[in-house]
Amino acid sequence: MLSARARSAPPAALTLDLDDTLWPILPVILRCETALESFLREHAPAVAERYPGLAMRALRDAIFAERPDLAHDYGAVRRLSLERAFEHCGLHAPALVEAAYALFYATRNQVECYPEVDQTLPALAARHRIVALTNGNADLARIGLDHHFHGAVFARQVGCAKPDPRIFGHALALLELPAGAVWHVGDDPLLDVVGARRAGMGAVWLNREDRPWPHPDLPGPDLVVRDLAELASHLADLSPTPSTLR
């Protein structure tokens, strides 16, 4: 599905969101929380009893509200949540906190990509330089997808998160390209589409559920696609020969 602003010239490069763009994130987080609770029941039963799944999530949300300076760093908030939970139970066990976080993070990187990604991502990478641009903390090397990317920009590393134009600027600097030469692809209307448009980039809304545009008063997408395969097909029509910019 093309929007009225669909661009006719191919981009020189792409920036690509990860969570809910390449894989669904909710099943991953639920597995993480289950693994963490099992770990705590075995190694820190007092913490597991006081902070079962939903209570640990509520503690994390409270810390997000308390520490807006960490809003761009999910890993730091998760570690702080664990430290706070242990403190509330009168436990000082930094090694155990670190082990709990390590398990959570390892599970967080056990993702199942959407069906088209395994074939389409390599095809996109053959034609365009791709930079991952995410507010999340996935590890592309652990997941096994890093070789498809020219680089990655993480909110936790640059100190700001989408839709802040500065994080898009970091990706453009990595690519050494002007904003108008790059398309950003992502699932979130505000974080990805509005953020990219405000940064001067092309904005591709990956809209798997065929949702209506929820922000009529904000800049909308240049292109709407159902999945990466539809994006790859559109780009192939615009640029029949692979890019030489890699």
Contact present, 63 and 25 (Cβ < 8 Å): no
In angstroms, the CA 45 to CA 38 distance is: 9
Span 64-75, pLDDT tens digits: 999 999 989 999
Domain boundaries, the chain: 13-24+112-238, 26-108
Give me the amino acid identity at 143.
Answer: I
Span 84-117, pLDDT tens digits: 999 999 999 999 999 999 999 999 999 999 999 9
Give me the amino acid identity at 201.
Answer: M
Domains 13-24+112-238 and 26-108 agree in fold: no
What is 26-108's CATH topology? Answer: Four Helix Bundle (Hemerythrin (Met), subunit A) (1.20.120)
237 or 7, higher pLDDT: 237
Per DSSP, 19 falls in state B
Q: For residue 35, what pLDDT is reported?
A: 97
Among 244, 200, 196, residue whose Cα is nearest residue 21: 196
Is the model's pTM score more than 0.85?
A: yes
Q: Which CATH class is domain 13-24+112-238?
A: alpha beta
In angstroms, the CA 166 to CA 145 distance is: 25
Beta bridge partners of 203: 184
In angstroms, the CA 229 to CA 117 distance is: 8
Which residue has 């790059």 as its token pair? Answer: 182
Q: Is the pLDDT of residue 53 over 70?
A: yes
Q: For residue 163, what pLDDT is reported?
A: 97
Contact present, 131 and 149 (Cβ < 8 Å): yes
